[in-house]
Amino acid sequence: MMNEADYIVPIGSIQVLPEGLANRIAAGEVVERPSSVVKELIENALDADATHIEVSLKKSGLDEIIVSDNGWGMDSEDLVLAFRRHATSKIATAEDLLRITHLGFRGEALPSIASVARVEVVSRRADRPNGSRYRIEGGKTMKPEPAARERGTTIRIRSLFFNVPARRKFLRSSATEYNHIVNSFKRYALAYPELRWTLIRDDSPVWNLEVTDLEGRIRQLYRNETVADLIPVENRSNDIFVSGVVGGTSLFRKSRGDQYLFINRRPFVGSSLHHAVVNGYAQLINAGEMPFYVLFLRADPGEFDVNVHPAKHEVRFRDESQAYRAVMMGVRNALGASLHEGSAPVSIIGSPASEYRERSEVNLPREKGHRIDGRRELEMLFGHPKASGCGLSALDRQTLETESPEPKTQRLTSDPTPLAGKYDPHHSPSPDLETEEPMIHENLTPTIEEVPVQRTNVWQLHKTYILSQVKSGLVVIDQHVAHERILYERALAAMRDQSWNGQQLLFPVEVTLDPGDSALLEEIQPQLHRLGFEVEHVKDTRWQILSTPAGIKVSSEGKLLREMLADYRNEYNLRLAPQESLAASFACKAAIKKGHPLTLEEMNALIDELFLTQYPFVCPHGRPIVVNLTLQELDKLFGRGL
């Protein structure tokens, strides 16, 4: 038992933390990773009215981050004060917190960064004959000294987290950290297209973005196909203005990434307003799809609060419903206007208009599976652009639960061998596979012994589910997640001990990637090679696809690669294990989709391969693959035996 004298701090005493320790605690909230540093320094440059901002990185920011600008600059006295906690030029009174007009205002960023890195600042004000240099290492300051520089500021951050090894240990791979920086850089470059922006990685230029407008900036950052499928948005709801662009259906993705929200040009994350955007698309978008959008909200600073998150990621509106409706109606009006003008880059699956009118006003039919113009139906959905409200009020309350359209790429081969790989059903699962927790309910799944080897009584329901009779009743299999499980386990096996043969393409497919995706591809290239997915770096962010996994048929290799990379980032954030993440991403994107017709032979091959896997009842993401309806349950549904 400890005596009172054994305590380092006496029981019940309260002490003020030393400033250096307080700064390191604050750094834990403000400086999560290298991209956090880049974000804070960019915001300082913007607040200083810079017209050119340059970001230079070494080893994805882990070794060095340099941010230079041509803004106001600071003199030696300002430099010393800037690195004191809660020192700021942005606010002076409590009332200023209620009307924040700058990106930075707490005065925590620079001292927090300096407490966990080696920092050197060179800055000069336009009205000073010379600049000043100021150094801080792990919170220890040195006296400012004269230095030559034009107007503006250059901040050099070296050895981030050198004195906090535990924090550095928890950073992700170099490619992942670089991708976070790229995303942060893109966010501000989109918000301020009238400024010049430069990004340099390991002494090689990545982007040199000249002054332009929003459409031009999107063209600089993305492919031309993106710009070709954009719809302008402009809407006012009371005192909230919404402007920007949303993407057409060709830009829909299954993972997040290209969704940007700004309030008075401050980037923020808002799940409620993201839902408002999706709701604005109504039935043009399927559940789980993510649209492309860059939307700017303008409002009085007193109508929202940015001081609700340490890193200022979130915004709280005084009237959340008003902001929601402004965004939703802005998107809906834009889509309605483009449809009326005949310029909407969208297409839908549906039945003829006469059949549509016989059905519910808000449920566009999708079961026919053939494409139609859809403009008349969509005008009914979104309303005439000049009509009051420009939309159906019933849609405002609608929950979007729609089926996926017909697949455009992969199909399942009738040859069972490529699906099977070389599985040994009696082989013990690997340690990584054993970490999965399938959450299987016994009453939902039949035993493997019940699944018949020879099946003729197998049917496909709505091109999505496979039905088969078993001794206990009826088995229902989701064809997409069943194939996903098969591909997942085969991909894991390929990366560990038995490579997947590649199928050489007749002509290499060249693909230009986002810089972050290019760095990520470089990192996982060896694992992709073991999957039979051979890629070769051409130059800068250009790659060539030379082969794809044998037995997996795709119509767009570039699209598959991009979707895999986007999904891999999300998987890696959840799973931590790179091989599992890549296997899950590949399986999800390469598996046959709902809506794909299967022959009897293909359905039987899929069932056979499914029940050779280690976990045939749950997909890599935890969704059930097989559901069993017993005879007793069916009898109960029909009132038998009651």
Residue from 322, 336, 345 nearest 280 by CA: 336
Same domain, 592 and 492: yes
Q: Cα separation of 350 and 352, whole Å?
A: 7
Q: Give me the pLDDT at residue 255, please.
A: 80
CATH number at residue 613: 3.30.1370.100
Based on the domain organization, do 447 and 495 belong to the same domain?
yes
Distance of CA 241 to the CA centre of its chain: 26
Final residue before a domain boundary, out of 363, 396, 429: 396
Q: Are strands 196-201 and 118-124 parallel, antiparallel or unpaired?
A: unpaired
Do 525 and 590 fall into the same domain? yes
Q: 218-247 pLDDT, tens per residue?
A: 999 998 888 989 999 999 888 899 999 999
Asked if residue 429 is part of any domain, the answer here is yes
DSSP string, 149-179: --SEEEEEEESTTTT-HHHHHT---HHHHHH
pLDDT value of position 239: 86
488 and 561 in a common domain: yes
List CB contacts of 458: < 8 A, sequence separation 6 or more. Answer: 466, 467, 468, 600, 603, 604, 607
Would you say 125 and 149 are in contact if contact means Cβ atoms under 8 Å apart? no
pLDDT at 368: 34
Task: Identify the pLDDT of residue 415.
Answer: 32
How far apart are the C-alpha atoms of 318 and 302, rounded to whole Å? 8
458-461 β-sheet, strand order: 458-461, 465-470, 473-478, 626-630
* CA 301/CA 219 separation, integer angstroms: 31
Q: Which residues of the chain have pLDDT under 50?
A: 1, 4-5, 7-9, 91-94, 96-99, 104-107, 345-449, 452-453
SS (HEC) of 425-471: CCCCCCHHHHCCCCCCCHHHCCCHHHCCCCCCCEEEECCCEEEEEEC
What pLDDT score was predicted for residue 405? 33
Q: Is 385 left (phi over 0), alpha (psi -120 to 50) or beta?
A: alpha
In this structure, the answer to whether residues 420 and 386 fall within a common structural domain is no
Query: Quick check: is 10 in a domain?
Result: no
Q: Which amino acid is at 556?
A: S
- The answer to whether residue 231 sits within a structural domain is yes
Pair 600, 625 in one domain: yes
Cβ-in-10-Å burial (0-12, 13-18, 19+) of 7 comes to exposed
The reply to whether 642 falls in a domain is: no
d(CA 626, CA 565): 28
Q: Is 122 helix (H, G, I), strand (E, B) or coil?
A: strand
- Here the tokens at position 379 are 């005008």
- Indicate whether 34 and 137 sit together in one domain: yes
Position 347 in a domain: yes
Q: Choose one of 170, 185, 212: the last residue of a domain.
A: 212
Q: Examine residue 386 and state whether it is found in any structural domain, yes or no.
A: yes
Residue in 217, 212, 216, 163 with CA at minimum distance from that of residue 185: 217
Q: Are residues 229 and 262 in the same domain?
A: yes
**Are 310 and 355 in the same domain?**
yes
The alpha carbon dihedral of 324, 328, 330, 331 has a sign of positive
pLDDT at res. 508: 94
Whether residue 379 lies inside any domain: the answer is: yes
Verify that 180 and 34 share a domain, yes or no: yes
Biggest alpha carbon distance in the chain? Answer: 97
DSSP H stretches of helix in 312-415: 320-341, 353-357, 375-382, 393-396
For residue 158, the domain's CATH number is 3.30.565.10
Interior/surface letters 376-404, b for 16+ CB within 10 angstroms, e for the rest: ebbebbbbebeeeebbbeebbeeebebeb
415-432 per-position pLDDT tens digit: 323 333 332 333 333 333
9 belongs to a structural domain? no
Which helix (H) or strand (E) segment holds residue 364: the answer is none
CATH code for the domain of 325:
3.30.230.10
Q: Are residues 73 and 204 in the same domain?
A: yes
- Buried-state track 164-200, b at ≥16 Cβ within 10 A, e below 16: beebeeebbebbbbbbbbbbbbbbbbbbbbebbbbbb
Pick the last residue of a domain from 212, 232, 247: 212
**Can you give the pLDDT at residue 149?**
93
Residues 324 and 451 in one domain: no
- The residue among 625, 617, 567, 614 whose CA lies nearest residue 433 is 614
Element (H, E) at 199: strand 196-201
| Helix, strand, coil shares, percent, the chain, to 5 | 40, 20, 40
CA distance 394 to 363: 11
Based on the number of CB atoms within 10 Å of its own CB, is 354 exposed (0-12), middle (13-18) or buried (19 or more)? exposed
The candidate with the shortest Cα–Cα distance to 512, out of 255, 249, 226, is 226
CB atoms within 10 A of CB 556: 14
Total domains present in the chain = 3
| Full residue range of the structural domain in which residue 571 is found | 416-630
